[in-house]
Amino acid sequence: MPVTAPSLATAQQPGIASHAGGKDALAQRVILLLDRLSRLTRELQFAGGLNPAQWEALRFIAQANKYSRSPTALAEYLGATKGTVSQTLIALENKGLITRCKKTCDRRQVDLCLTDAGQAMLARDPMQTLEQASLEIADELGAEMVKGLTRLLHDLQARHQVVEFGVCQECSLFCVNSGNGSLDGADGACGSTGEAIDAVEKSKICINYKTVS
């Protein structure tokens, strides 16, 4: 489906931009822009023979840490039912993009992994268009945009009691390696499991993440 980039600076909808000035107008403007962006990014993800849910699942598996690469965690992350996620995973398996392995520490648990074909598919992720556009405004607005969007997301997740995924370096349970223990050069340890966390795992998203209050 051809995608036409919305003119975000001028896009308007009846009844939304009619409150000129003030916080109400700003809030309505944010709603409109997020709605337009989400529609556009959804359309972009009908690509490479995949649908948006399948692309999201591939991205999640690539970014999730060892505690989170499971069908249950994926369902939480997507806000989808286990049945819907199961269909998505079956489709990705049939295309040879992912595998389900048993975890070595607990054979009852499933570990989702990308295959080489899955890695190659992700290298052609249609969301790279958005990444390129973000890079162009990063110097000017990057830090402020990330701060504002992060706060908005956390606020909505808290209101709707959605599981907050996050990374070790921002987690209240992460214990930095002070060099006195037996962490063998790891960056730190998870305060929940006691396991060492290396630099790669530290930047991956986790279902057990706890925000710093």
Nearer to ligand SF4, 85 or 206 (CB): 206
Nearest-approach distance from CB 84 to ligand SF4, in angstroms: 25
What is the SS3 string spanning the chain?
CCCCCCCCCCCCCCCCCCCCCHHHHHHHHHHHHHHHHHHHHHHHCCECCECHHHHHHHHHHHHECCCCCCHHHHHHHHCCCHHHHHHHHHHHHHCCCEEEEECCCCCCCEEEEECHHHHHHHCCCCCHHHHHHHHHHHHHHHHHHHHHHHHHHHHHHHHCCCCCCEEHHHECCEEECCCCCCCCCCCEEECCCCCEECHHHHCCEECCCCECC
Nearer to ligand SF4, 59 or 66 (CB): 66
CA atoms within a 13 Å half-sphere pointing along the CA-CB vector of 87: 7
Nearer to ligand SF4, 66 or 95 (CB): 66
CA distance linking residue 64 with residue 200, whole number of Å: 11
Nearest-approach distance from CB 20 to ligand SF4, in angstroms: 44
Nearest-approach distance from CB 105 to ligand SF4, in angstroms: 14
Bridge partner list, 174: 190
Nearer to ligand SF4, 177 or 208 (CB): 208
Nearer to ligand SF4, 127 or 173 (CB): 173
Nearest-approach distance from CB 172 to ligand SF4, in angstroms: 7
Nearer to ligand SF4, 58 or 168 (CB): 168
Nearest-approach distance from CB 208 to ligand SF4, in angstroms: 4
End-to-end CA gap in the chain: 44
Nearest-approach distance from CB 192 to ligand SF4, in angstroms: 5
- Name the residues that contact ligand SF4, by CB under 6 A: 65, 67, 168, 171, 173-174, 190-192, 197, 206, 208-209
